[in-house]
Amino acid sequence: MTTRPQPALAARDIHKAYGKHQVLRGADLTVEPGQLVAVVGENGSGKSTLLKAIAGTLSVDSGEVRLGGELGYCPQDPVLNLNLTVDQHLQYFAAAHKLDSLDRAGELVSLLGYEKYRGTAAGELSGGTRQKLNLTLALLHDPDVLLLDEPYQGFDWETYLRFWDLVDQLHERDKAVVVITHLVFEQERFDVLADLVEGRLTPRATAVKEHSNAGV
Amino acid sequence: MPASEALRGAPGTPGAPGTPLYGQFPTALRFSVREQSRNRLAALLLVLFVPLWYLLMTSIAGDKDLEFKLYSTGELLSVDGKHVTLITAGMNSLTMISGFVVFDAVRKALNFDKRLAFAGFRQSTLIGAKMLAIGIVAGTIALYTALALLIYWRPGLTGWATILAGFVTMTLTYGSLGLLLGVLVKNDLEGFFLIIMGGLTDTFLQNPLGNPAANKPALQYFPSFGPMQFSVGGSLGDTVMWRYLGFGLLWAASFAVIGLIVFHLRTRSRRPTR
């Protein structure tokens, strides 16, 4: 037995094909607690498919996923109920997670700056605000492992920066965070960049974080 | 149709750590009723279309007498065509409205429900709440449709009660069909088309006015057969045939069970853990 702590997330040999099109061909991803990982790759390379497979919203052809704690998944397209208000979403997910308070929800709403829409139905929110709510729902229960699929689409610059403050806080609190990103200029924020090429992930440590333990 | 205060998932005592702030069942019920009753088009159809449809159908029917076969006794009732037509017109409009309301709400919320289930919502709780919400909404639609019928015809209390019971059974059947289609069908049009065609064919064929073959045994295999027999028997034949109401409820239960199984399968986790 090793004394090495259990990784927060271990995905092994994930295969997924859509018909004849093999998207994932044995993708592996290991993320330690407190590690911030970017999944990068071209359009259609299977980044969202990988996150869906890990989150369990999509069935895979083969492979295995192990989680070392609670999972929060923020899908690329907001999954909301357009008839319900922001507050009602928060209540619904507080019931799902059996939370004893909405304090964290309030913090997230105020950090992302959309308090004034708490009584507004999701169907009447702008795209950016919907995305904020989408992200809030993934973070509501303070999960240990976070999968964020382009979480800041439609955010203005101010909110984008606040998003990174939030991720920094999670990082400091030893949460494992996986983000799908296209933005080259932000890649130095991560501990590890994982390139998804031809259905497999190739990790590389980022320039400024060479010292970090690339566990992919 | 707002959810009554009693349905609200009242917050628990704050400051009691470990006690969930919102119960899963009351929360799911409250929001399921809300999402199903927020359909403005359906509400408008209910309020305006139903009385107009009654008016239109009775004016087409005229005062001709029709023969309607009661299967429990085997007798051929000679009834006022206007009265049978009012019952089929009511059933016809509520198949469409209840099917549409539930289909639209279930289909739109499916991914969201999946997300809730992944977040730890018990699927059985979600399913139970959804079904009860369908019952509440279906009951409301049936009650309104039965009340609107009184504008054109006063069948007496027992007669009206059997019509209401037939209507409730029909809204439950088509609400459940809406649920089934909502979890199966990919886009709006397919679902609406199936509900409208299904409801029209089903209810219209039961009326001897529109269908000279309405008393043929083949009609027993349609969902509206039982409720139609029950309502006509009670309101025009002085016979209350519970068994026929049961046939209708069996259709409702079958659609609901299949729909809920598909819902369960579609909202479960696919994570490959061993």
- pLDDT tens per residue across span B34-50: 888 888 888 888 899 99
Q: Give the class (CATH, top level) of A34-44+70-207.
A: alpha beta
Per CB-CB distance under 8 Å, the chain A contacts of B107 are: none
Contact between B90 and B54 under an 8 Å Cβ cutoff? The reply is: yes
Q: At what angle do helices B123-149 and B24-37 cross, to 10 degrees?
A: 40
pLDDT score, position A48: 94
Cβ of A17: how many Cβ atoms within 10 Å? 14
Tell me how far apart the alpha carbons of residues B176 and B99 are, in angstroms, rounded to a whole number: 7
- CB contact under 8 Å between B119 and A94, yes or no, is no
User: Between vectors from CA B89 to CA B86 and to CA B95, what angle results, nearest 5°?
Assistant: 140
Per the document, the length of chain A is 216
At B121-162, the pLDDT tens digits run 998 899 899 899 999 999 999 999 999 999 999 998 999 999
Residue A192: in which H helix or E strand, if any? strand A192-197
Closest chain B CA to residue A50: B271
Q: Nearest CA to CA, how far is A140 from chain B (Å)?
A: 10
B19 contacts in chain A (CB < 8 Å): 100
User: Distance between CA atoms of A180 and A191, rounded to whole angstroms?
Assistant: 14
B22, A95: Cβ pair inside 8 Å?
yes
Torsion angle (degrees, nearest 10) of CA B196, B198, B199, B203:
140
pLDDT digits (tens, 9 = 90+) for A69-122: 999 999 999 999 999 999 999 999 999 999 999 999 999 999 999 999 999 999
- Does the CA dihedral B174-B179-B182-B188 come out positive or negative? positive
Q: Is A15 exposed, middle or buried (0-12, 13-18, 19+ CB in 10 A)?
A: middle
Residue numbers in A near B34 (CB within 8 A): 83-84, 88
Q: What one-character DSSP code corresponds to residue A205? A: E
Longest dimension (CA), chain B: 71
Look at B9 and A58 and tell me if their CB atoms are within 8 Å.
no
pLDDT in tens, B231-240: 999 998 888 8
Helices B24-37, A86-96: crossing angle, 10 deg rounding: 140
Contact B85, B207 (CB under 8 A): yes
The pLDDT of residue A210 is above 90: no
> In this predicted structure, what is the pLDDT of residue B217?
77
The C-alpha atoms of residue B87 and residue B230 are separated, in whole angstroms, by 11
Nearest by CB: B22 against A14, A54, A94: A94
Name the nearest CA neighbour of A134 among A81, A91, A74.
A74
